Structure 1
């Protein structure tokens, strides 16, 4: 199974994309903890060490792209190639960049530059009750299930 070619992602306006071995996994884990904190605190489940470990234990630089404004890390994603779909394992933005349209721009790039040309659906999970669910629904994802902790979503490219 080939890795997803994240170099095909166009950089969001004013930002640069960094992939592969040039990434700092500790900085990515820290950004994840910052981004998830409000939703996890609201559900009574915030454990900063666990949030970081869950990312670092499965870190794969070949599936990761980070977004920088100068030297400032403002977001990252992890997109994994599965046998029959793409799995968006992570998409996090720094709290100061949330709600600016940056996440929608990144997600649209994944859909248009990677998923649609390869005719692959994208699947993901999002914490139940978090703002992530409505964000993905606005981008055309459909909720496909829930285990009470996480909701499952998928997006299918429509034929041209």
Structure 2
């Protein structure tokens, strides 16, 4: 099910809101893994926040989530993909992820990490991600990029 949404560029003023959203979204999984620290969960995001790579997901003009796509020379890292709990389970995450992967597809794979046992892993599996490596806390996933086109050699 496609959920209509818009993306807007994040600004420095969005940092605190995203940090709070992160704390809410990750709390259950971090508690289950005995890793929840209410200060650290927010500060870790604030230390890494790069507005130039971050978008705010909006529904009817209101913020409903965030995501960041950080390009490297050999990968595209999907980071800080958080959907407000009141909008989870309604197709928004799937719509955003499908759109992002379609619009930013190139030969580099998409990569991400998700907390072990997180329900979000099912979303990523549905969109072509596979487990690359894992440990008791983190699951690193990858989805292949586009296959590079081979030059056509004319035949005479």
TM-score, reference length from structure 2: 0.86
Equivalent residue runs for 1:11-160 within 5 Å: 13=4, 15-21=5-11, 23-70=13-60, 72-115=62-105, 118-159=106-147
Give, in whole Å, the separation in 1 of the partners of 2:94 and 2:107: 20
For structure 2, the 5+ residue unaligned runs are 150-156
Deviation of 1:147 (Å): 2.1
Higher helix share: 1
Question: Any conservation in 2 of the 1:23–1:66 contact (CA below 8 Å)?
Answer: no
> Which segment drifts farther, 75-84 or 32-41?
32-41
Question: How many matched pairs?
Answer: 146
Question: Any conservation in 2 of the 1:141–1:153 contact (CA below 8 Å)?
Answer: yes
Question: Any conservation in 2 of the 1:23–1:61 contact (CA below 8 Å)?
Answer: no
The C-alpha deviation readout for 1:20-66, integer Å capped at 9, x for no partner, is 43751000111111111121122222212111111100110000000
For structure 1, the 5+ residue unaligned runs are 1-11
Distance 1:78 1:106, change over 3 A: same
3-state SS of 2:114 partner: strand
